[in-house]
């Protein structure tokens, strides 16, 4: 049983292949009788339309490309889930490409997506350099950047970001409300603008509370658990005790918390900890982690929605589409208050 095409059906039904095409797309230009006859026949013969051939003539593939650093990252996974669900509802499918954060692979991925003629692209957690931007522009399809940074503006390129600064403010205000005064910030990877923005929020909240900003309370991390663990000595081994720490992200916070517990400190008794992201781990550790939740599923949906909108009004300049900044939400758990 080889593949069956509309021509095969046409032969069996003794009509032309155009009639079959019309019947299957439920066109009004064909009699109800033959329409049903053909549709029944198609089902019997196990016909499945060839999307390739269709999109070749239609100029649309009903496919979007998603470029991620790594799907292992829980944040990315949840984002992709949001995208995929919304895409599926709109009859789109998703081609997944991961770059492992290597620029070469990222560009290769975009080239692949170009060849596959995707109708839109979503890129996450990337730093989009000038070269990369050039490749994205060559796609001639809408590109939405999620939590990414770009060196220069692109024609078709829009972005969705979480409000990092506001998140930092919320986190630190929460700690201040709890009475903490000596609050550390553990940074993310160097040179990362997300990190700088969260730090700015931290600083703003402190100054807002007439608490002077003390540079020595900013401890370097690396965005991973190891960085958080390594930060412990710099935090607990001081004369003037630090009682709380706001961390660049949840992984950092988890590393710090783990190290603190192992060293015999209590959380939040000796040290209150706030993270950022609200990855799934955050609610499965003990104590559960207080954090700033990124509205990640909303971001995924929103990204897909934006792509669809940009495609529809095929105004290349994407009128009435603007960059989006979504606020995170403070989620209070056991790492800052006793439960």
Partner DNA sequence: TTGTAGGCGTTATCAC
Partner DNA sequence: GTGATAACGCCTACAA
Residue 34: which of DNA, a copy of itself, none does it interact with, CB under 5 to 8 A by kind?
DNA
In angstroms, the CA 226 to CA 229 distance is 5
Specify the residue for token string 């005064």: 181
205 binds a copy of itself (CB under 8 A): no
336 token code pair: 């800052």
With CB under 5 to 8 Å by kind, the binding choice for 284 among DNA, a copy of itself, none is a copy of itself
329 to each of 80, 122, 123, 158, 185, how far by Cα in Å? 20, 24, 23, 23, 19
Interior/surface letters 41-75, b for 16+ CB within 10 angstroms, e for the rest: bbeeeebeeeeeeeeeeeeebebbbbbbbeeebbb
**Which residue lies nearer to DNA by CB, 34 or 211?**
34
Query: What residues from 206 to 245 belong to the interface with a copy of itself (CB under 8 A)?
Result: 225
Q: Which of 28, 46, 215, 269 binds a copy of itself (CB under 8 A)?
A: 46
Q: How far is the CB of 52 from DNA (least distance, A)?
A: 7
70 binds a copy of itself (CB under 8 A): yes
Q: What secondary structure letter does DSSP report for 212?
A: P
Q: Which is nearer to DNA, 10 or 123 (CB)?
A: 10
* Interface contacts to DNA, rule CB under 7 A: 3, 5-7, 14-19, 21-22, 24-25, 29-31, 33-35, 47-50, 53-54, 56-58
Percent of residues in the chain assigned helix, strand, coil, to nearest 5: 45, 15, 40
Find the part of the chain contacting a copy of itself (CB under 8 A) among 111-119, 182-190, 235-243, 303-311: 111-119
Site map (CB under 8 A) of a copy of itself, residues 254-293, x = contact: x--xx--xx-----------------xx--xxx-------
Q: Which of 9, 8, 16, 1 shows the shortest CA–CA distance to 37?
A: 9
Q: Quote the CA–CA distance of 238 and 248 in Å, as a whole number.
A: 21
Answer whether 219's CB lies under 8 Å from 244's CB: no
Residue 136 near residue 128 (C-beta atoms within 8 A): yes
Give yes or no for residue 72 binding a copy of itself (CB under 8 A): yes
Question: Which stretches of the chain bind a copy of itself, using CB under 8 A?
Answer: 1-3, 46, 48-53, 55-56, 61, 63, 70-72, 74, 77-78, 80-81, 84-85, 88, 93-98, 105, 111-112, 114-117, 138, 140, 225, 251, 254, 257-258, 261-262, 280-281, 284-286
């Amino acid at each position: 049983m080889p593949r069956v095409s509309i021509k095969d059906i046409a032969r069996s039904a003794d009509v032309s292949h155009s009639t079959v095409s019309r019947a299957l797309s439920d066109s009004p230009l064909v009699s109800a009788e033959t329409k049903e006859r053909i549709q029944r026949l198609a089902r019997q013969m196990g016909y499945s339309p060839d999307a390739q051939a269709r999109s070749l003539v239609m100029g649309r593939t009903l496919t979007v490309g998603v470029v991620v650093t790594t799907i292992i990252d829980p944040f990315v996974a949840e984002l992709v889930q949001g995208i995929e669900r919304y895409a599926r509802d709109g009859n789109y499918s998703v081609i997944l490409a991961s770059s492992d954060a290597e620029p070469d692979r990222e560009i290769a991925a975009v080239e692949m997506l170009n060849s596959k003629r995707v109708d839109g692209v979503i890129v996450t957690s990337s730093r989009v350099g000038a070269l990369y931007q050039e490749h994205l522009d060559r796609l001639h399809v809408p590109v939405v950047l999620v939590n990414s940074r770009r060196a220069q503006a692109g024609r078709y390129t829009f972005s969705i970001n979480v409000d990092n600064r506001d998140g930092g403010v919320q986190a630190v205000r929460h700690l201040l409300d709890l009475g903490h005064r000596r609050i550390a910030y553990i940074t993310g990877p160097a040179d990362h603008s997300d990190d700088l923005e969260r730090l700015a929020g931290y600083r703003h909240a402190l100054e807002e509370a007439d608490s002077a900003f003390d540079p020595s309370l900013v401890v370097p991390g690396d965005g991973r658990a190891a960085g958080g663990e390594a930060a412990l000595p710099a935090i607990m081994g001081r004369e003037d005790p630090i009682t709380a720490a706001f961390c660049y992200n949840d992984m950092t916070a988890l590393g710090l918390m783990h190290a603190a517990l192992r060293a015999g400190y209590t959380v939040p008794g000796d040290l209150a900890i706030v993270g950022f992201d609200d990855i799934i781990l955050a609610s499965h550790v003990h104590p559960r982690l207080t954090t700033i939740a990124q509205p990640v599923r909303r971001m995924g949906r929103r990204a897909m929605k934006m792509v669809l909108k940009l495609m529809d009004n095929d105004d290349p300049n994407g009128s009435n589409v603007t960059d989006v900044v979504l606020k995170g939400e403070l989620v209070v758990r056991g790492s800052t208050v006793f439960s």
